[in-house]
Amino acid sequence: MMDNISPILCNNVLMYLAGRKRDVSFLTNLPGASKKLKVFNVDLSNPESFREAIEGCIGVLHTTTPIDLESKEEEVIDEIYWSDENLLRDLKPFAWSYSISKTLAEKAILEFGEHHGLDVVTLIPTFVLGPFICPKLPGSVYTSLAFLFGEKNPFGASRIHMVHVDDVARAHIFLF
């Protein structure tokens, strides 16, 4: 299986949003990063800005959606028919902006792929846990640790389904 993934992983690329420059030294300081990692500043609303980053690639994996743990939700769209988005807005469960962003991103990429003749596969994992290298504690890891420290379940009486980050990575590679 490793032979099949080497063309995907041979050119590691990191892109981040324009105007939101972040300290990525925790990535650029990794062993081998100077030869295997190149950082691009892109604006996802401007396809020309990431042309250089994807040039020569045989696939693109978009693997993140931010989660707003402070519940500073804004109206995203106003639809006139019932949809998953309306249900999420009406119920406003914990971190509903995360759920709606996943729903809208999937809808947009499927429509884009169909319109442009691209093969698109979506993988929307549940609560992702596992080791991390970023300097800030990821929201999912923070929330899972809350249980260990006796804090209240932020999801109320709901059951929380979790998946390990390594399993998510394997699923991306398998589906690619």
Q: Which one from 92, 102, 107, 152 is the annotated catalytic residue?
A: 102
Distance, in Å, from the CA atom of 144 to the CA atom of 5, rounded to the nearest integer, reads 31
Confidence (pLDDT) at 105: 80
Per-residue pLDDT at 8 exceeds 60: no
Residue-wise pLDDT for 35-51, tens only, equals 878 887 777 677 788 78
Lowest mean pLDDT among 20-24, 47-51, 161-165: 20-24
Per-residue pLDDT at 61 exceeds 50: yes
Average pLDDT of the residues in 29-40: 83
Q: Are 69 and 97 in contact (CB under 8 A)?
A: no
Mean per-residue pLDDT of the chain: 70
Confidence (pLDDT) at 129: 84
Per-residue pLDDT at 141 exceeds 50: yes
Residues 6 or more apart whose Cβ sits within 8 Å of residue 1: 173
Average pLDDT of the residues in 115-138: 82
State the chain's maximal CA–CA distance in angstroms.
Answer: 52
Q: Are 127 and 162 in contact (CB under 8 A)?
A: yes
**Residue % of the chain over a pLDDT of 70:** 61
Q: In the annotation, is 102 catalytic?
A: yes
Confidence (pLDDT) at 167: 92
Instruction: Among 13-22, 67-76, 155-164, name the most confident range.
Output: 155-164
Distance, in Å, from the CA atom of 61 to the CA atom of 46, rounded to the nearest integer, reads 18
Q: Is 100 exposed, middle or buried (0-12, 13-18, 19+ CB in 10 A)?
A: buried
Residue-wise pLDDT for 9-18, tens only, equals 444 555 554 5
The predicted model scores a pTM of 0.60
